[in-house]
Amino acid sequence: MIRFEHVSKRYADGTTAVDDLSFEVREGELVTLVGPSGCGKTTTMKMVNRLIEPTEGRILLDGDDISGIDPVRLRRRIGYVIQQVGLFPHKTVLDNTATVPHLLGVRRAEARARAAELLDLVGLDPATYGDRYPEQLSGGQRQRVGVARALAADPPVLLMDEPFGAVDPVVREHLQTEFLRLQQTLNKTVLFVTHDIEEAVRLGDRIAVYGQGRVEQFDTPPAVLGAPANDYVADFVGADRGLKRLSVTPIEEGDLEQPPVVHLDDPLPRELDARWAVVLDSTNNLHGWISAEHARTAVRKGDTVRDHARRMEAWLPVGAPLKQAFATMLQHDAGWIAVIDENSEGRFLGVLTPSGLHEALRRSTAADARDITRAEVELETVKSLVD
Ligand SMILES: Nc1ncnc2c1ncn2[C@@H]1O[C@H](COP(=O)(O)OP(=O)(O)OP(=O)(O)O)[C@@H](O)[C@H]1O
């Protein structure tokens, strides 16, 4: 979708801002560009909408060399969100959002109706906020209007340059969560600049880690965290990368163990093969659990599992991040957590235990595929937490 082919940018004063960049952002993919200040992220982004022209190489959008596309036409296909949102101070929130479609010839009423939908989509009630002026909004609300405005012309591509950089960490996390949810339905092709590795890892399908003007590693968050390409990347992602990887590694079915299972209407068993069993209903959905000791001591003639089962307080869908599993285990002081398939009405799949969690992390490093020994991959932090 967006393809960089040996792209370099040298400024007149001799600064090489970007040096021989080659990578591709696939359709519907969110790629984060992360690196320290001055490493060339913004330059990379501005070359995509031709605010800056490369000195060498070419950039293709949907297979077309953008140097042959009129910049104004090009920018209609590309939404742009920047940190200083740049809203028009004398226009209302609704009019700010409707500006671009209106400029593109959409009738005013239609543009405003669409703008109202978009404000709703980014979590701002148009009835409450539509008639306000930018100065009457909080920083986070202004950023949302910035996102809504960039989406207004429905461009297939979004460029986002530190869009959540100017708000406090709590609002920032909130905006990130909302943006991820939005992206799940919109499926835009997104290039997202940040200097914050946590943000890059959280949002990116893939991450480009920049050194000075060069991409040092371009890979998925688990791969960057699990197998940094070199010392520079390892240093940049931080010593706690093992922990960070917990947030980007999903629970897979293969990570799960199969405990003994009983059904609600079964007679209460006197003996179980383990200290506890999972209790399912007649459609194999998760109901709860039962402890072996309780079954042994409490059983009376004619009792069924239903009479003694305890409801499950916590479970997770398959695909949830390991961090959530770990947090849930800690919160409930539980040695295992049940995992269900939300797509098939909550069918029980198995349980995740600390050792399953540890194995999942190992898998996620792709260490074996890269032929590096497990000892080289930093798992110690997590290991010490779960052992
Ligand atoms: N017009 C210019 N003339 C000369 N050098 C420039 C110009 N614009 C940017 N640079 C230099 O190019 C390099 C890359 O700048 P760029 O803005 O792309 O970095 P960045 O990674 O986005 O940094 P930040 O996170 O601080 O925004 C920097 O060293 C910067 O000083």
pLDDT of 385 > 60? The answer is: no
Residue 14's alpha-carbon distances to 9, 55, 122, in angstroms, are 10, 12, 42
Query: Cα 300 from chain centroid?
Result: 51
Q: How many helices (H) and strands (E) are present in the chain, helices listed first?
A: 15, 17
Residue nearest to atom 10 of ligand 1 (CA): 17
Quote the pLDDT of residue 376. Answer: 42
Q: Which ligand 1 atom sits nearest the alpha carbon of residue 195? A: 25
CA of 38 to the centre of ligand 1 (A): 5
Contacts 24+ apart (CB under 8 A), 369-377: 370/227, 372/227, 377/226, 377/227
What distance in angstroms lies between residue 208's CA and the mean position of ligand 1's atoms? 17
Q: What is the pLDDT of residue 241?
A: 77
What is the C-alpha separation between 186 and 301, in angstroms, rounded? Answer: 58
pLDDT tens profile 311-329:
888 899 998 988 889 888 8
Q: What is the ipTM of this complex?
A: 0.92
pLDDT over threshold 60, residue 378: no
Nearest CA to ligand 1 atom 16: 40
Residue 387: both structure tokens together: 């052992």
Q: Is the pLDDT of residue 4 over 90?
A: yes
Q: Which domains occur in the chain, in start order?
A: 2-242 (3.40.50.300), 253-359 (3.10.580.10)
More confident residue, 129 or 86: 129
Angle ∠(237,247,358) on CA atoms, nearest 5 = 95
Residue nearest ligand 1's atom 14 by CA: 40
| pLDDT, tens digit, 9 for 90 and up, residues 65-80 | 999 999 988 988 898 8
Protein residues whose CB sits closer than 6 Å to any atom of ligand 1: 11, 13, 15, 17, 35, 37-43, 195
